[in-house]
Chains A and B, each alone.
Chain A
Amino acid sequence: MSEIILDMNINGENISIQVPSNMRLIDILRVKLRLTGVKEGCGEGECGACTIIMNGKAVNSCLVLGIQADNATIITVEGLAKNGEMDILQQKFIEYGAIQCGFCTPGMLMSAKALLMHNPKPSKEEIREAIAGNLCRCTGYTPITKAIEAAVKV
């Protein structure tokens, strides 16, 4: 397999990395960069566990080829906390019990973060829409939407 060199800004850091040309972004993040907060739940873009923010948009990293992320700015769940302080979304997820098994959490947080980056005061409906592509089997979404609403109010 031929290899390519990708330049990316990941969680605020510029990197250059050589990867097989057919490598998915999720594998680059998880395997090459050990950003294992990015989760794989289906590999088909149906569950949202692998959601990251690429160039300001929430995307399923299992559906992105590495080459498509060349020169991209990427945020993963590992990049949410700043200077040791958790993002308000992370804080509210914890406060509202929005995390049970936690496997959907990183993707859920990134979908919510992407929403707030563009729309700091979303409505309840906009919040639900923003996470509609992220499946959660534990919480029934109720504490998750409450947590995001609470983060909006801060």
Chain B
Amino acid sequence: MTIRPTYDNTAIVGVGQSAYTRRPEPGALAHHFIRDAVVAALDDAGMKLGEIDGLALSSMSIGPDQAVDVAWRLGLSLRFLHQDTNGGSSSISAFGAAVRAIEMGAAKTVLVAAGDATGLEGYAKLAANFNRAIRDHAAALGYGGPNTAYALLTARQMKHYGLDKSDYGHMAIAQRIWAAGNPYAVYRDPMTMDDYLNAPGVVDPLCRFDCVPVVAGGQAVILSAPDRTPKGRPKVRVRALGYSFNHDHQATDGLKTGASIFAKDLWEQAGAGPDDIDVASIYDDYPAMVVAQLDDLGFMPDHDAKRFIANRIRDRSFPVNTWGGMLSAGQPGGPAGCLNGVSEITLQLQGRAGARQVPDAKLGLTTGYGMTMYRYGATAGAAILERQA
């Protein structure tokens, strides 16, 4: 018998973020950015700090602290604590753990928070010592971080789908147009195809605009009982969750992500399909990974990525990464990026997305992807969120 979970006792009652900055002030810690996001989320939810009894935290730069140290510094006393440091999808994993904690009665109100402040130098150190595989077997080659892994993957994807550089350019440009409506995005000025195609090469075939700008920043989401949703706002509940870890042991071409493993189950849980999604946030550490996840999740049944980009993404008729995505808004470490997706879908479903609002969004999808253990990402997660009538 398959257990079909429901998440009727949980709603997203508040969201918040810190400022994103390319160059944090000396001494600025991940803790500071997480704090700013928590203050914003509490304010958004109309809640007091003392009401939080659970924390699910993702960060790659709070060390030597752990989640409980951050709880201490934030003045939180808890009965549920969860820490996930497994790369770019870790905060959507932490989000799922928080939802399940509330559904099982482990906590009433859980703060899901993520943030990083590595600076560029700290980022370079992190990239070269990401795990044993990278440190021992790749760093000496001049690997230089995940750009190399995704350059090789993008080359394979271009061959597989018959894509050109300009196809990825259309994706980056569309996200830049969305970013103009997001006051928090670090890059909001329009970008032309010439800008994109003439940008300096980073790792072939990736250019500067294919690689996320690393920023310092934090995100927070508060989950609680649906009746804690602030008055006047529609409730946002979780319709489905899907996760996959180490789906193919790094043994294939990496063109299919872990989302391919849980896609069928995710849509069955949701009682919906790709055509029902009004707005999506697809983890965009690189444009190629947006293509891969969209195909894995069934958005292109004919697997014609070129046509999907031309007909749905370029003209923004399929609203994907309406906050600009990490490519334009910035990547606040891997983990907080997908929490920004949760936040964005919540704002869209509640009609609070301002200049970038998608009309009458009822059902949204948000994903995470990451933990580039060796040749590509090993973790994937997704949540389908709905506006409750």
**Same complex origin of A and B:** no
